[in-house]
Amino acid sequence: MRRWNGWGDDTINAELNSDALAFLRQQIGATEAPQDASLEAALAQVAQQPSRLPPHPLVSSAPEHRLQASFGQSMGDWLRLRFGRIGRVSDGVAWPESSAQVRELLDWAAAVGAIVIPCGGATSVVGHLSPPEDGGRPVLTLMLSHLRKLLQLDTVSQLATFQAGVAGPDLEAQLRAQGWMLGHYPQSFEYATLGGWIVTRSSGQQSARYGRIEAMFAGGRLETPTGTLEIPTFPASAAGPDLREWVLGSEGRLGVLTEASVRVQRLPACERFVGVFLPGWAEGEAAARELAQARLGLSMLRLSNPIETLTTLRLAGHAKAIAWLERYLALRGCAAGDKVLLMMGLTGSKAQVAAMQAQARAILKRHGGISTGTLLGAKWQANRFRGVYLRNALWAQGYAVDTMETAVDWPRVPATMAAIEAAGREALAALGERCHAYTHLSHVYAQGSSVYSTFVFRIGPDFERAWARWQALKGAVSQAIVASGGTISHQHGVGKDHAPYLAHEKGARGMQGLQALVAHFDPQGVMASGNLLPPQPR
Amino acid sequence: MRRWNGWGDDTINAELNSDALAFLRQQIGATEAPQDASLEAALAQVAQQPSRLPPHPLVSSAPEHRLQASFGQSMGDWLRLRFGRIGRVSDGVAWPESSAQVRELLDWAAAVGAIVIPCGGATSVVGHLSPPEDGGRPVLTLMLSHLRKLLQLDTVSQLATFQAGVAGPDLEAQLRAQGWMLGHYPQSFEYATLGGWIVTRSSGQQSARYGRIEAMFAGGRLETPTGTLEIPTFPASAAGPDLREWVLGSEGRLGVLTEASVRVQRLPACERFVGVFLPGWAEGEAAARELAQARLGLSMLRLSNPIETLTTLRLAGHAKAIAWLERYLALRGCAAGDKVLLMMGLTGSKAQVAAMQAQARAILKRHGGISTGTLLGAKWQANRFRGVYLRNALWAQGYAVDTMETAVDWPRVPATMAAIEAAGREALAALGERCHAYTHLSHVYAQGSSVYSTFVFRIGPDFERAWARWQALKGAVSQAIVASGGTISHQHGVGKDHAPYLAHEKGARGMQGLQALVAHFDPQGVMASGNLLPPQPR
């Protein structure tokens, strides 16, 4: 069963080995986990907020449903659940089975003055599911998980049309049964949904081959408060603005995506992941950039900075094997404290994989790369959706983990990375706490790169201190991102947590345009969740 | 000097050889060219329309400027110029030198109640430059050709920032001087501009490698009637809607694009174009689809249908060489009447080109392909921007040429091609005329293909009959395109000629949204050219 106050399935437990724990204690100090609030206590708080929605046959106001529908996976969500500070929750929850039921519920919400929040896999890390702060109107959450059917598979055009609430593993299983795949693998893959990916502009781990979700999304059906927007599929078009772009990144402010056609692939003949060490950050960044700009067709390219490389090796356990590896690397010129780990995915036909491997090897060699073959790559692959479970294990030891990310053009990468890590460390230092911050480039482009930083810090003994630490960290890092000229998100989306920073990149004129588009599709503010933009006046 | 009533530079003359002429006479009948109107007569008609604009130091109302600014390259433009039916022209013309001057002119236009039409290279084939029909307000055309500077070249991020009025050859020359290139080569390359490409969603001949203009456009500056929209560059972003998508396909309805950053490339080490014959359409289409779906990294892939293949060979001249080629092909199983020509571009490092050639060869062999090596490819390459000059030569013999194009998913390709050609032939048959129609797939995607048809017909002895023929053809083919489920344009844009068909793909809800966005940025209707959407009420 899915955890109500943490990540993932409660039968899956990530282990934090003793070396890793010792490493963290050395970095940021020893601590203990605070006492978790009980589910019963949380439900009791929900029960104290009577639903403000009138009854509807499709809508449940059971406290467990309202609780489940109101939280994603942002640090704010975690803190509120773990410390039992539930706050405002959704007033009712529905699981529509069709576009027609979504329409019916939108119309009903408009009639009763409710705000609608669509929910895919509830994996948002930026606060998408919290009811808006002002709280004057009832909130109806549409859980889209029953919209999971494969409606059509056109193998000639390599297009699959799904109901948009289908979750990653279910989607891939339905395709794989017929020899096909989509290839969108964000870390939240286990629960995240196709529609959620589209409306938040998601990026999967192998987007270098398969494309970001923008490149996969070929058409669909958006139920807006003022009618249905049907977007047909074309391989390309010059017929004015592309309406798919209204859906991408709309974060539930224009309507509910109920169907989506996506570009699918045959299963590849060959796939491997290779880990390569380079002597330092400068060499690693230069190699990653050259690999991206050489258009080799790699399916993945990630580069950990020295602290992340060190942390990855420490958290991996197997102290003896790692010590052996480090001796080997030192002999070959990769010193312990400076070395960086580059992980690359090679996917395609046998001939394609062989060709890209040969070209990649030549580039990496020039930058002093030392390959470990698939030794670390296979490990990465096996754990690609399990790493996120470590969040539970760390919490149990008293440590909070948050991640923040951006993307910048190449010349800005090193300074942005440094500014983000420093901002996190300084924000917590001002509260007398240490922060273990490390970074990788998770998605590497010819033009630049994403910069993805992880922050581990002590949760704190009570809600107030924990909240203050997280708010200080989140605010300082977000400021550092926009001050560095980065986008406020490369892959997590905007939600409520990033909304205050959006104007830095869209500008006043852009923000007004976005408001105008929202006001046009949703003049009554039915979708006024507060995600992306401040709620529309009603 | 550029021709005032035809394509291109008047020192460049394409020749129509006697075999080609005999072939056309056989197909659609002999004819003669009508008498062209003189430039003097055209200017006299302009002079009879006094400019309705008050004077402004940046604005010329000289008749030659007003004439030049009011016509592109659509068949309607040609007929009006050649027969001397000038009709309404722009009231004034300005050549702004900076974003600030564009701003000044937009504000002035708003103050004096004028409509502004931006003009790049005046290569539109869909009527973008004609003043709107109703004609109640003065029209100011902004010629953007003086905005041609390379403002910044960031070789690390592979980004070049240009003023947006820069024309293709000028842009490539400025980049090439530093070892770089963009790689956007529409047939109109000789005159078309970067800004024009972006606002009409242009696609170049080698977009399979370099991407459509959408993939190149990284950010820029749009001067709208209600303020400046600055779009910064990021390698990727999940921060809500992508504002570049408001500019792409906006066709001058939201403002004037004055600067654009584009993703550039190092010059490739290796490039070749290879022509391959296949025994019939089914084999050719299957091969093209398989090549596109195999992700080989080809820079170009085009497939001519049997009539186009035959026409290409006839128009090439060299009757003896072609006869020899045809005997060779017949011996190898490609019969005269059924064979199709596939042209592919291979671009990249030596290793990449060798790898893609080997993989392409294996695929083509399975479908019965017979390569002619670079024999026909080099010829295609040499003439890639000269073919369009044939339009002048054909007109001189009494023949009009128009092209129409769409894109559809793969299962619809054959029926769409057949419907488009039949619609053209039948429309002219109803007027007692024959039409020589032929088609190629000009841009081939994993999901589907563009379908690009050429129609040659006798101009007719007078304007009325010529206009009626073109209108019948254009209407029937456009109807066939939307009835086939195709987009109204894969690469030409919408302008005025395609505007009536746009609602077929955008839907009523989509059209209202587009109108709302236009109304938001341009509430006074300063940009109300009638392109893309009906003019906004003022």
Same domain, B365 and B291: yes
Q: Is residue A116 part of a domain?
A: yes
Structure tokens at A400: 């909070």
Share the mean pLDDT of chain A: 95
Mean pLDDT within A314-341: 85
Same domain, A533 and A456: no
Q: What is the largest CA-CA distance in chain A?
A: 72
Chain B residue numbers touching A218 (CB-CB < 8 A): 447
**Which of A384, A416, A450 is at the close of a domain?**
A384
Instruction: Report helix, strand or coil for B181.
Output: strand
Helix A463-483 vs helix A75-82: crossing angle, to nearest 10:
180
In angstroms, the CA B414 to CA B451 distance is 9
CA distance A517 to chain B (A): 6
What is the tens place of the pLDDT at every residue in A147-186? 999 999 999 999 999 999 999 999 999 999 999 999 999 9
* pLDDT surpasses 50 at A536: no
Query: In this complex, which of B237, B245, B358 lies closest to A242 when CB atoms are compared?
Result: B245
Q: Exposed/middle/buried for A151, CB within 10 Å: 0-12, 13-18, 19+?
A: exposed
CA distance B512 to chain A (A): 9
Q: Does A517 touch chain B (CB under 8 A)?
A: yes
Q: Report the side by side order of strands in the sheet with A448-458.
A: A370-371, A270-278, A340-348, A300-304, A435-441, A448-458, A399-409
| Least reliable range by pLDDT among A251-260, A372-381, B40-49, B224-233 | A372-381
CA B86 from centroid of its chain's CA atoms: 23
Same domain, B141 and B195: yes
Instruction: Report helix, strand or coil for B150.
Output: strand
Q: Does B110 touch chain A (CB under 8 A)?
A: no
Which amino acid type is present at position A429?
A
Same domain, B237 and B325: no
Structure tokens at B80: 């009006």
Domain count, chain A: 3
Residues belonging to the binding site of B for FAD are 118-124, 200-203
E strand intervals along A66-201: 92-94, 115-119, 139-143, 150-154, 159-163, 180-181
Chain A residue numbers touching B516 (CB-CB < 8 A): 516-517, 520
Chain A residue numbers touching B230 (CB-CB < 8 A): 507, 509
Cβ distance of B490 and A249 shorter than 8 Å: no
Same domain, B132 and B77: yes
Model ipTM value: 0.96
Chain A residue numbers touching B246 (CB-CB < 8 A): 241, 513
Q: Does A49 touch chain B (CB under 8 A)?
A: no
For an interface test with A, the pick among B243, B257, B514 (most A C-beta atoms closer than 10 Å) comes out as B243
Q: Is residue B54 part of a domain?
A: yes
Residues belonging to the binding site of B for substrate are 391
What is residue B536's predicted lDDT score, i.e. its pLDDT?
47
Q: What is the CA radius of gyration of chain A?
A: 23
Cβ distance of A410 and B517 shorter than 8 Å: no
Query: In this complex, which of B157, B251, B490 lies closest to A411 when CB atoms are compared?
Result: B157
**Which of B234, B267, B300 is at the close of a domain?**
B267
Chain A residue numbers touching B158 (CB-CB < 8 A): 293, 446-447
How confident is chain B (538 residues) per 10-residue block, as mean pLDDT? 96 90 95 97 97 98 98 98 97 98 98 98 97 88 98 98 98 97 97 98 96 97 98 98 98 98 96 96 98 95 96 83 86 85 96 92 96 92 90 96 98 98 98 98 98 98 98 98 98 97 96 97 96 67
Same domain, A476 and A507: no
Q: Is residue B433 part of a domain?
A: no
Query: In this complex, which of B226, B348, B505 lies closest to A239 when CB atoms are compared?
Result: B505
A11 annotated binding-site participant: no
Instruction: Report helix, strand or coil for A305.
Output: coil
Mean pLDDT within A75-80: 98
- At A66, which CATH number? 3.30.465.10
Q: Is residue B146 part of a domain?
A: yes
CA distance A26 to chain B (A): 36
Cβ distance of A158 and B411 shorter than 8 Å: no
Query: A325: pLDDT confidence band, cut at 50, 70 and 90?
Result: confident
In angstroms, the CA B427 to CA B225 distance is 42
**Which of B213, B242, B267 is at the close of a domain?**
B267
Query: A215: pLDDT confidence band, cut at 50, 70 and 90?
Result: very high
What is residue A518's predicted lDDT score, i.e. its pLDDT?
97
- At A467, which CATH number? 3.30.300.330
Q: Is residue A51 part of a domain?
A: yes
Cβ distance of B516 and A517 shorter than 8 Å: yes
Cβ distance of B231 and A156 shorter than 8 Å: no
| Least reliable range by pLDDT among A272-281, A317-326, A505-514 | A317-326
Cβ distance of B250 and A227 shorter than 8 Å: no
Same domain, A162 and A208: yes
Q: Does A218 touch chain B (CB under 8 A)?
A: yes
Same domain, A280 and A419: no
CA distance A80 to chain B (A): 25
Query: In this complex, which of A218, A236, A489 lies closest to B203 when CB atoms are compared?
Result: A236
Query: A537: pLDDT confidence band, cut at 50, 70 and 90?
Result: very low
Residue of A nearest to B268 (CA): A294
Chain B 137-196, residues with CB within 8 Å of chain A CB atoms: 154, 156-159
Domain that holds residue A325: 270-384
Cβ distance of A447 and B246 shorter than 8 Å: no
What is residue B15's predicted lDDT score, i.e. its pLDDT?
86
In angstroms, the CA A383 to CA B499 distance is 52
Same domain, A131 and A199: yes
Matching residue, tokens 């408009």: A110
What DSSP letter does each residue of A231-284 carry, written as one string?
Answer: E---S---SSS-THHHHTT-TTSS-EEEEEEEE-EEPPSEEEEEEEEESSHHHH
Q: Exposed/middle/buried for A15, CB within 10 Å: 0-12, 13-18, 19+?
A: exposed
Q: Is residue A495 part of a domain?
A: no
CA distance A533 to chain B (A): 9
What DSSP letter does each residue of B297-347 carry, written as one string?
Answer: --SEEEEE-HHHHHHHHHHT--HHHHHHHHHHHHHTT--TTT-EEEEEEEE
Residue of A nearest to B208 (CA): A236
Q: Which residues of B are catalytic?
A: 452
Q: Does B236 touch chain A (CB under 8 A)?
A: yes
Cβ distance of B238 and A250 shorter than 8 Å: no
Cβ distance of B447 and A235 shorter than 8 Å: yes
Chain A residue numbers touching B523 (CB-CB < 8 A): none
Q: Is residue A24 part of a domain?
A: no
Residues belonging to the binding site of B are 118-124, 200-203, 391
In angstroms, the CA A58 to CA A55 distance is 9
Chain A residue numbers touching B250 (CB-CB < 8 A): 240-241
What is the tens place of the pLDDT at every residue in B466-486? 999 999 999 999 999 999 999
Q: Does B268 touch chain A (CB under 8 A)?
A: no
Q: Is residue A438 part of a domain?
A: yes
What is residue A321's predicted lDDT score, i.e. its pLDDT?
81
In angstroms, the CA B146 to CA B437 distance is 39
Query: In this complex, which of A263, A494, A507 lies closest to B229 when CB atoms are compared?
Result: A507
Cβ distance of A239 and B521 shorter than 8 Å: no
Residue of A nearest to B232 (CA): A505
Q: Which of A191, A409, A500 is nearest to B234 (CA)?
A: A409
What is the tens place of the pLDDT at every residue in A31-47? 999 999 999 999 999 99
* pLDDT surpasses 60 at A362: yes
Beta bridge partners of B160: B153, B262
Residue pair A14/A315 in contact by the 8 Å Cβ criterion: no
In angstroms, the CA B279 to CA B533 distance is 44
Instruction: Report helix, strand or coil for A502.
Output: coil
- At A348, which CATH number? 3.30.70.3450
Same domain, A378 and A472: no
What is residue B331's predicted lDDT score, i.e. its pLDDT?
87
Residue of A nearest to B199 (CA): A240
Chain B residue numbers touching A251 (CB-CB < 8 A): 240
* pLDDT surpasses 70 at A418: yes
Same domain, B251 and B301: no
Cβ distance of A202 and B238 shorter than 8 Å: yes
What is residue A535's predicted lDDT score, i.e. its pLDDT?
56
Residue of A nearest to B209 (CA): A295
Same domain, B94 and B242: yes
What is residue A23's predicted lDDT score, i.e. its pLDDT?
94
Query: A538: pLDDT confidence band, cut at 50, 70 and 90?
Result: very low
To the nearest 5 percent, what fractions of chain A are helix, strand and coil? 40, 20, 40
Chain B residue numbers touching A158 (CB-CB < 8 A): 293, 446-447
What is the tens place of the pLDDT at every residue in A298-319? 999 999 999 999 999 888 777 7
